[in-house]
Structure 1
Amino acid sequence: MPTLTLSEFKITELDAPLGAEVTGLDASQSVAPDVILQLKQALRDRHILIFKNQNLTDEQLLNFAFYFGSLYVPPDDVPVLASKPGVTPVVIPISNVDNGYTGSGEIPFHSDHLWTPYPSSGSLLYAIEVPPEGGDTYWLNLNLAYETLDESTKERIADLELITYNPFLQDPNGPRPKYRLDKSIPLISPVFPHPLVRTHPESGKKILYLSYSNEVEVVGLDPQEGAELIEQLREHLNQPRFYYQHKWSVGDIVYWDNQATLHYRQAFDPNYRRVMKRVSLAGSRPF
């Protein structure tokens, strides 16, 4: 099997708050060590990598993903996307057809698996079929969001912990609160507080570790005070200067650092097909 050499590929930073495009790399083949190390450094620096013009089987997608880490496996009692009793698929179909997941609606900015004890470090999403319009994905730079906070807010949130409640244990037809104000509601799953300001485990950068619309609670704060703080932080997050919009092409793989970004999906016409495959990689306890 041929091995990619360092001179055959290029990493080009996007003119955006995050992201780099990788060309001249065939992810179905073996990749040289120097190339993998450059890709890992680029991910630390730019938070998402976009690989163009790929053509992979599920096995080849997994083999490529495993250069960057081991498979993310959630606890049995903490469901995530595609969880079924005792098993979560290794390669998850992100598709609005053929029993895939996530449908065709809008998906607000979020970080995957934030409600679990050890959220995933990242994911690779591979585009097989894309709609002619809509269905774009946006990624948001959480380090930049943190760095642009005013100093008093940074001091206020420095040592706070945040609980993110599991959206897959909520009534899909019920209300979707963004903050847990009612303490009398019984818990139906374990909860795992994480730092509101996370330190990236490889770069050391500070991250505003907060999804945009999941139900959350700041540990130790009065509910009203906590709700107001989170609303303030979410208003800060909701700025175009923090994000990159990706229009998908068939054969794209986007590998994002789930520890340093949020992602959002545009709605698209459900009469169009959008077929993708996702592999998520194991992470560590946030600190």
Structure 2
Amino acid sequence: METLVRLEGTPLKEGVAIEVHAQVDDFLRGVRPIEELEALWRAYPVLIFRRQSVLEEELVGFSSLLGECEVVSRKDILSPYSDKVIYFSTLRYADGRNLGGFAGGEDVDWHSDQTFRPMPSTGAILYGVEVPRDGGDIYWADQYRAWSLLPEEVQRKIDGRTGTYRYGKRLAIMNATELKGKFDEMSRVPDVQHRVVLEHPLTGRKALYADPTTLVSIEGLTEEENARILPVLFAAGGDASAVYRHKVLSGDLMMWDNGCTMHRRDVMTLEQPRLMKRTTFRLPAAKYCVPH
């Protein structure tokens, strides 16, 4: 039983998202123990901190309190100040280069980050430095809820099974404008395998791990069973009853667990400035739903 949740917050969607009544600096300075935040995160897989003013080194430091902050390999969207921070932006440098990536206004489909990697960094933080007033709302879908929505027959079919996840599928679905012709070799990276149902080691709750942009099949199922069951999983993953929609404001710091959520973004207005900073970090398997 949880006894450590003492942080105050305003639920934005019960069991899914909560606005935390604290400052990131409280945890960096040790005013509040990080265990309080971890306990709240187990109850709400999406945490929203409003009106934050965070330097990049503080963003990395805060991420590192929760897990191992990832060094980013994609240099074209990397911060010029940190190898652990990437930019999503509509802005440009003085020489005309895009300031970061994912600047296109297209909507983004439901997905979990890094499902195409053998060891995904499932923790993520997105910090809104400059946010457009119109468009670009972000949605998170609770995958604990998604699991509970599946028919029992489907639950029995998939629980304990491994899925095949393919980056080539995502490349064909998402970021087509930006990535076309730049990362063609990525379409040939080897498939990876993960359990399609993850279990939280502390709470025992089960979460669906069925990213529709990368999952192509489930081992042990026939071709006909895969054709029938995969659409059921994808529909449950984005079911409206599991979704929280967030109107992002400048100064919002949004933190989520990719092991038990999916997310997507609305079409974005390109004529307004946008600068978002993101970190990803490897969560410990002893405390979180981590794909193996």
Q: What is the TM-score of this pair, normalised by structure 2? A: 0.80
2:143 and 2:261 in contact (8 A); partners too: yes
1:165 and 1:216 in contact (8 A); partners too: yes
- Structure 2 CA distance for aligned equivalents of residues 18 and 42 of structure 1: 11
1:16 positional shift: 4.0
1:170 positional shift: 4.2
1:165-215 deviation per Cα after TM superposition (whole angstroms, max 9, x unaligned): 0149846769xxxxxxxxxxxx82222211111113443321110113335
Please give the secondary structure, in 1, of the residue aligned with 2:66: coil
Instruction: Please tell me the residue identity of whatever aligns with 1:25.
Output: Q
- In structure 2, the residue matched to 1:177 is none
Instruction: Please tell me the residue identity of whatever aligns with 1:232.
Output: V
Instruction: Please tell me the residue identity of whatever aligns with 1:219.
Output: E
- In structure 2, the residue matched to 1:182 is none
- In structure 2, the residue matched to 1:96 is 90
- In structure 1, the residue matched to 2:68 is 70
Aligned length: 262
1:2-52 deviation per Cα after TM superposition (whole angstroms, max 9, x unaligned): xxxx99x63332234501111232438734375311110111111011111
1:219 positional shift: 2.2
* 1:56 corresponds to 2:54: yes
Q: Hey, which bits of structure 1, 4+ residues long, moved more than 6 A? A: none
Please give the secondary structure, in 2, of the residue aligned with 1:193: strand
Instruction: Please tell me the residue identity of whatever aligns with 1:226.
Output: N
- In structure 2, the residue matched to 1:160 is 161
Instruction: Please tell me the residue identity of whatever aligns with 1:97.
Output: L
- Structure 2 CA distance for aligned equivalents of residues 29 and 44 of structure 1: 17
Percent identity of the aligned residues? 28
1:16 and 1:244 in contact (8 A); partners too: no
Please give the secondary structure, in 2, of the residue aligned with 1:102: coil
- Structure 2 CA distance for aligned equivalents of residues 40 and 215 of structure 1: 29
Instruction: Please tell me the residue identity of whatever aligns with 2:91.
Output: V
Flag the 1:12–1:36 CA change in 2: closer, same or farther, 3 A.
Answer: farther
- Structure 1 CA distance for aligned equivalents of residues 162 and 77 of structure 2: 28
Q: Where does structure 2 lack aligned partners over 5 or more consecutive residues?
A: 93-97, 178-186
Q: Where does structure 1 lack aligned partners over 5 or more consecutive residues?
A: 1-5, 175-186
- Structure 1 CA distance for aligned equivalents of residues 176 and 124 of structure 2: 28
- In structure 1, the residue matched to 2:291 is 286
- In structure 2, the residue matched to 1:214 is 214
1:274 positional shift: 1.7
Flag the 1:272–1:28 CA change in 2: closer, same or farther, 3 A.
Answer: farther
2:163 and 2:196 in contact (8 A); partners too: yes
- Structure 2 CA distance for aligned equivalents of residues 12 and 27 of structure 1: 19
- In structure 1, the residue matched to 2:108 is 107
1:116-162 deviation per Cα after TM superposition (whole angstroms, max 9, x unaligned): 11111210100011111110100000011102222111111112211
- Please list, as runs of the form range in 1=range in 2, the aligned pairs for 1:267-282 lying within 5 A after superposition: 267-282=267-282
2:24 and 2:62 in contact (8 A); partners too: no
2:163 and 2:193 in contact (8 A); partners too: yes
Flag the 1:81–1:226 CA change in 2: closer, same or farther, 3 A.
Answer: farther
Structure 1 stretch displaced more, 113-122 or 158-167: 158-167
Flag the 1:250–1:151 CA change in 2: closer, same or farther, 3 A.
Answer: same
1:263 positional shift: 0.5
- Structure 2 CA distance for aligned equivalents of residues 163 and 80 of structure 1: 28
1:60 positional shift: 1.3
- Structure 1 CA distance for aligned equivalents of residues 262 and 61 of structure 2: 25
Structure 1 stretch displaced more, 52-61 or 28-37: 28-37
Flag the 1:255–1:275 CA change in 2: closer, same or farther, 3 A.
Answer: same
1:81-138 deviation per Cα after TM superposition (whole angstroms, max 9, x unaligned): 959xxxx941010123232111222111100000111111210100011111110100
Flag the 1:123–1:233 CA change in 2: closer, same or farther, 3 A.
Answer: same
- Structure 2 CA distance for aligned equivalents of residues 58 and 224 of structure 1: 49
- In structure 2, the residue matched to 1:246 is 246
2:110 and 2:211 in contact (8 A); partners too: yes
- Structure 1 CA distance for aligned equivalents of residues 19 and 33 of structure 2: 14
Structure 1 stretch displaced more, 146-155 or 259-268: 146-155
- Structure 1 CA distance for aligned equivalents of residues 246 and 213 of structure 2: 21
1:60-88 deviation per Cα after TM superposition (whole angstroms, max 9, x unaligned): 111111111111357x8xx89959xxxx9
Q: What is the TM-score of this pair, normalised by structure 1? A: 0.81
